[in-house]
A = this chain, B = another copy of it.
Amino acid sequence: MKKLINGAEDVLKDALDGIAAAHSDLNVDKKNRIIYRATPKKGKVALISGGGSGHEPLHGGFVGFGMLDAACCGEVFTSPTPDQMQEATKVVDSGAGVLHIVKNYTGDVMNFEMAGELASAEAGVKVATIVTNDDVAVEDSTWTAGRRGVGVTVLLEKIVGAAAEEGRDLAAITALANKVNDGGRSMGVALTSCTVPAAGKPTFDLPEDMMEVGVGIHGEPGRTRVPLASAAEIAKQLVDPILADLDFTKGPAIVMLNGLGGSPLIELYVMYAEVSKLLEKAGVKIARNLVGSYITSLDMAGCSVTVLKADDETLKLWDAPVNTGGLRWGV
């Protein structure tokens, strides 16, 4: 295992030290492993997300103006605990309520639910929840009942974050979050496995001439294991299932071409060329795009595609200023 780490057990702790050292606009609570804005905005609905680490910049890199108020960091590929989420909920609530943004993995869903109940009971915080489930690859998985939450989570945190900055109330924010999740679909491909530090070896074996289509962000099995193909063919294997699942030809779309951690930017642009060509050929009007590594799976080589239905409202929120470590524009 070749990684820039100290001990396998130190990865999260050390990464939090690095985030604290790099970003003076963030508070890092090392005991509770939560990252939150140093200068919270009073009176706005607060947004919290979180999950296992290993998907950076998601979620800690999206804490800041225009996106999240706090992120709860679990150990690598391990849900944070209800305690962490409850603490984050209390820290960021300023009376307008808190939205929990949860990727659909069994542990995350259960723990956020418990944290919401505890925060409501103990401190009277109004808590709402959105569970993202945009991955069309598999209906159920080793880690999930229902579809997995992946790339749409990034787009949702941006769009709903902008709405929260505008001062919308918790009911409106929650309705918008549901709209975004309902209109988003994703699919990923792995060329290599990731290696979890604590395991010290690749999560799965993938021969030199094969790839895993529909892979999950923890290396969960996808739909099919097929021979390594060209970028054009890979694009087709990602785009076709997305378009088969939802009609994206009415109105504009936001498209993300996301790297899984071990694939360099030059390859992501090669993929975006193919993906955007296929989508446009299918009648999808790409109004905005994002090319880069935003929701990763440690050092996995590969990428994912997310397509999101947009409209005037969501495009305006997309374009609104954002100022985080992982996404920044208009400020």
Contacts and interface: CB of A to CB of B under 8 A. Distances in A.
Interface of A: 2-7, 10-11, 14-19, 21-22, 53-54, 56-57, 61, 76, 191-192, 208, 211, 228, 230-232, 234, 257, 261-274, 276-277, 289, 291, 293, 296, 298-299, 301-303, 323, 325, 328-331
Contacts of A3: 191, 263, 267, 301
B266 A6 contact: no
A269 to B, nearest CB: 3
A273 B15 CA distance: 7
Contacts of A263: 3-4, 299
B267 A264 contact: no
B264 A11 contact: no
21 contacts: A2-B191, A4-B231, A4-B263, A4-B271, A6-B230, A6-B274, A15-B269, A15-B270, A18-B269, A21-B272, A21-B273, A22-B269, A56-B264, A56-B265, A61-B265, A76-B266, A262-B262, A262-B264, A262-B301, A263-B299, A323-B329
A276 B21 contact: yes
Given A18-B276, A263-B299, A264-B296, 15 more contacts: A2-B191, A4-B191, A4-B271, A6-B232, A14-B269, A15-B267, A18-B269, A22-B289, A54-B264, A56-B269, A261-B264, A264-B293, A264-B299, A266-B296, A330-B331
Nearest to A54: B266
Q: Secondary structure of the A side of the interface?
A: mixed
Contacts of A265: 56-57, 61, 261, 293, 296
List of 9 A-B pairs having minimum Cβ-Cβ separation, nearest first: A18-B269, A17-B273, A18-B273, A261-B264, A4-B267, A56-B265, A18-B272, A2-B191, A15-B269
Nearest to A192: B2
A315 to B, nearest CB: 14
Contacts of A211: 2
Which of A21, A264, A299 has the most chain B CB atoms inside 10 A of its CB?
A264
Contacts of A270: 4-6, 10-11, 14-15, 18
A277 B294 CA distance: 27
Contacts of A18: 268-273, 276, 291
A239 to B, nearest CB: 14
A58 to B, nearest CB: 10
A235 to B, nearest CB: 9
Nearest to A208: B2
A2 to B, nearest CB: 4
B2 A56 contact: no
Nearest to A302: B4
A139 B15 CA distance: 33
Contacts of A323: 329
A19 B191 contact: no
A7 B277 CA distance: 17
Contacts of A257: 22
